[in-house]
Structure 1
Amino acid sequence: MSAGRGAEKALPAHTRQANRSLILRTLFHNDPMSRADLARATDLTRVSVSRIVDDLSAEGLVHESGPSPEGRVGKPSTLIALNPDSYHVVALDLSAHAEITGAIMNLDGDIVHSVSVPTDGARGAAVLVKVCALASALVKRSTVRVLGVGVGSPGVVGTDGVVREAVAFDWHDVDVAAAVAAVVPVPVHVANDANAAALAARTYGQPGVDNLALVRIGQGIGSGVIVGGVLVTGARFTAGEIGHVLVDEGGEVCRCGRRGCLEVVAAVPYIRQHLADAETSSDDVLAEAGRALGRVLAPVVAALGLEQVVLSGPLDIVAGVFLDETRAAIEHHSLAIVTDDFEIRVAVRGEDIVLLGGTALVIAEQLGIR
């Protein structure tokens, strides 16, 4: 009987790759460090650290940033820092439906160049053609090596880069990763847009938080969930699909064909429509939407023991009353012990969160930085 994967022996090459990722991850999340500091922080030997740092330096991924501050006895140590401009990442955000946004990003998540292309109502294969063309153009435009392409797509997305279903684009079992990979000479990674945003919230927001949900309030509503530092996708890749949870049996008809889904109460188009109604105050509209979201999130927070919920969407909607009522509803529908140290906040750089997510996806897969 053959041994299972869990019983496979770790090869030296695997160990070297893991140690390389550990050093890159440590430098990514910290200020410049000496080789001795890296050895202490990673529990690796100084010899191993020096060898890996030399290799990374030859590749251009790290560089010397000067001597350590004075105060220590003896010759100052040389500090090592990650070089964020050693590679670029091409990130694509497909979540807006009406347009595709692409950007060239550095490893720190800074936008080097961005462009948006209207979809002009295209669906099916026609949208995919636009996605591939934009990815190819951005890879060619980059002035440094491109580490990979990261795509945040609406819908149900498998770990193989196949979009199982995206209603907005009429995509069903579309291999987006393969299509893009056919026109670019670099690795391609595709994830659900909310899952990508969740990776961004942890990688570029608060890396010390291992249990969080990122909720995208946009044309629809979706969430990405990270538990124990790992993105949760579920057996059918539908984890976090909360937009069509029923919140009002007598509510409006949703695009999915049912009545009273969370989306028809709390997604941006419906909130904007209700805000335009002069008979209803804006605070009442936002409060109702926030309460509905909070009721849906409460069992998720309780069941998974989440430390944090991050809201991403237009600030005039998700901040203020909406945020406050979401928090209040989660607390009301949960035991006090569940929400004692719980935090809910608005995403940093929320308008770029999917682009950041595409970048986070690539650096996680290619460099082991999470």
Structure 2
Amino acid sequence: MAQLRVTSKALPEHNRQHNRSLLLQTLLHDGPMSRADLARESGLTRVTVSDLVNDLASEGLINELGTRTGAHVGKPAKLIGLNENAYHVVSLDLSPDDRFVGAIIAIDGKIVHRAEVPLENATGEAALRKALDLAGDLVKRTTARLLGIGVGTPGIVDSEGVVLAAPNLDWRGLDLAAAFRTEFSVPVHVGNDANGAALAVRTFQESGSSFMLVAIEHGVGAGLIIGDMLIEGIHSTAGEIGHLVVDENGERCACGRRGCLEQAIAVPHLRDRIRDAGADKRDAVLADAGHSLGLALAPIIAALGLDDLVLAGPQDLLEGPFVDAALDTVRARILTTVGDGPTVRIARDSDDLVLLGTAVFVLSAELGVS
């Protein structure tokens, strides 16, 4: 499990870095405030806050923004804010079925520049080269200090950034992090694309402390956050739902088995079936796919007691019959003792979630902020 947010002051056995992260995180999520405000929000003493603020200002991570306006008792307080352009992060999203997408992202989550390269069915070394070249173009375009490179990839990714298996890209045992470090000599953080999308929702959108995000693109994966912890599993396989079998007589999957969830709902397969069925049967195809997702998710939701499911992917496919069928299938198969059972919603700005999530990989590792 990976802890996301720093939420309390450091105990004596903790270190100064924890408190720095706490202040940065407070400014990221709550906006500019005075030193006194920071002390109240963080639980740190004013002396500690003042000392840390001076350090962070000297590093260019925060700015003095002038005095607070409006009616307040006493001397107007000086506001402090996060310097969003203190660093840039280069983020890559390798999950779409037809392209690799990249962006330069400021530390407050604003996208400064976007770029993409067509995948053109590249796999193996050819796909790796496309990803490296895309990152290289973005690195040249950065206008601030580069904090690091974040990469969100489909497949099983271990804690060292090795892609253990990504069948659609024909990557097995690929040390993706090492390949990027060799090329660019900067910190590199690689993770599963769905985990990245879940982190983006947790960090930059409104969410509870526990939810599951299902990312539907070239493949299908889930990011699971329970009690503000990203659940990755002992073998980094938590959330690998794309190869759950939902139809034993279904189509052959890239993994070698038949009827995997990925075959039923991944974007390229779903668009092919809609095209073959014709416009008048589009809703039926989407409802059937949503039903398959519901079959796969119902036991997971029941086992974990989840009540918030977030879908990320093309809205033209997910809205309407797909999400309705998924929700109906889940509710028909689990015991609901409170309310109407789980909710299913579609994430905002799905196209940017993996990019923002891979930025969180870097922000968390290098600044302790998420």
Instruction: Determine the structure 2 residue equivalent to 1:266.
Output: 265
Q: Deviations over 1:218-276 (max 9, x none)?
A: 12211111112111111111111111111122222222222222122222122212222
- 1:98, distance to aligned residue in structure 2 (A): 3.4
Measure, in 2, the Cα distance between the counterparts of 1:321 and 1:109. Answer: 32
Instruction: Determine the structure 1 residue equivalent to 2:190.
Output: 190
Tell whether the 8 Å contact from 2:167 to 2:254 is kept in structure 1 after alignment.
Answer: no
Measure, in 1, the Cα distance between the counterparts of 2:307 and 2:360. Answer: 21
Question: How high is the TM-score relative to the length of structure 1?
Answer: 0.91
Q: Deviations over 1:94-116 (max 9, x none)?
A: 11243222211111222211211
Where 1:56 maps in the other structure, the secondary structure is helix
Where 2:102 maps in the other structure, the secondary structure is strand
Between 1:291-300 and 1:44-53, the stretch displaced more is 291-300
Measure, in 2, the Cα distance between the counterparts of 1:184 and 1:12. Answer: 38
Kindly report structure 1 stretches of 4+ aligned residues shifted beyond 6 Å. Answer: 10-13
Measure, in 2, the Cα distance between the counterparts of 1:119 and 1:282. Answer: 27
Measure, in 2, the Cα distance between the counterparts of 1:279 and 1:187. Answer: 48
Matched, 1:248 2:239: no
Where 2:173 maps in the other structure, the secondary structure is strand
Measure, in 2, the Cα distance between the counterparts of 1:204 and 1:293. Answer: 26
| Uncovered stretches (5+) of structure 2, i.e. residues with no partner | 1-9
Measure, in 2, the Cα distance between the counterparts of 1:366 and 1:339. Answer: 41
Instruction: Determine the structure 2 residue equivalent to 1:238.
Output: 237
- 1:149, distance to aligned residue in structure 2 (A): 0.4
Measure, in 1, the Cα distance between the counterparts of 2:240 and 2:305. Answer: 18
Q: 1:303 to 1:16 in 2, by over 3 A?
A: same
- 1:72, distance to aligned residue in structure 2 (A): 2.2
| Uncovered stretches (5+) of structure 1, i.e. residues with no partner | 1-9
Q: 1:87 to 1:279 in 2, by over 3 A?
A: closer
Tell whether the 8 Å contact from 1:305 to 1:338 is kept in structure 2 after alignment.
Answer: no
**2:189 aligned partner, one-letter code:** H
Matched, 1:146 2:131: no
Tell whether the 8 Å contact from 1:211 to 1:305 is kept in structure 2 after alignment.
Answer: no
RMSD: 2.0
Where 1:224 maps in the other structure, the secondary structure is strand
Measure, in 2, the Cα distance between the counterparts of 1:358 and 1:11. Answer: 30
Instruction: Determine the structure 2 residue equivalent to 1:25.
Output: 25
Tell whether the 8 Å contact from 2:97 to 2:267 is kept in structure 1 after alignment.
Answer: no
**2:210 aligned partner, one-letter code:** N
Percent of paired sites with the same residue: 50
Tell whether the 8 Å contact from 1:92 to 1:355 is kept in structure 2 after alignment.
Answer: yes
Question: How high is the TM-score relative to the length of structure 2?
Answer: 0.91
Q: Deviations over 1:300-323 (max 9, x none)?
A: 222223242111111101112211
Measure, in 2, the Cα distance between the counterparts of 1:294 and 1:69. Answer: 52
Measure, in 1, the Cα distance between the counterparts of 2:305 and 2:209. Answer: 10
Measure, in 2, the Cα distance between the counterparts of 1:125 and 1:70. Answer: 59
Measure, in 1, the Cα distance between the counterparts of 2:153 and 2:20. Answer: 30
Where 1:317 maps in the other structure, the secondary structure is helix
Q: Deviations over 1:122-147 (max 9, x none)?
A: 32223223322322332232111011
- 1:180, distance to aligned residue in structure 2 (A): 0.3
Where 1:281 maps in the other structure, the secondary structure is helix
**1:212 aligned partner, one-letter code:** F
**1:273 aligned partner, one-letter code:** D
Instruction: Determine the structure 2 residue equivalent to 1:359.
Output: 359
Q: What is the count of residue pairs matched by the alignment? A: 360
- 1:343, distance to aligned residue in structure 2 (A): 3.0
Alignment of structure 1 residues 189-338 onto 2, 5 Å = 189-206=189-206, 208-276=207-275, 277-278=277-278, 281-337=281-337
Tell whether the 8 Å contact from 1:219 to 1:269 is kept in structure 2 after alignment.
Answer: yes
Measure, in 1, the Cα distance between the counterparts of 2:364 and 2:77. Answer: 29
- 1:25, distance to aligned residue in structure 2 (A): 0.9
Tell whether the 8 Å contact from 2:216 to 2:311 is kept in structure 1 after alignment.
Answer: yes
**1:347 aligned partner, one-letter code:** A
Instruction: Determine the structure 2 residue equivalent to 1:3.
Output: none
Measure, in 1, the Cα distance between the counterparts of 2:223 and 2:339. Answer: 19
Q: Deviations over 1:162-203 (max 9, x none)?
A: 111111222111111011011223210000111111111111
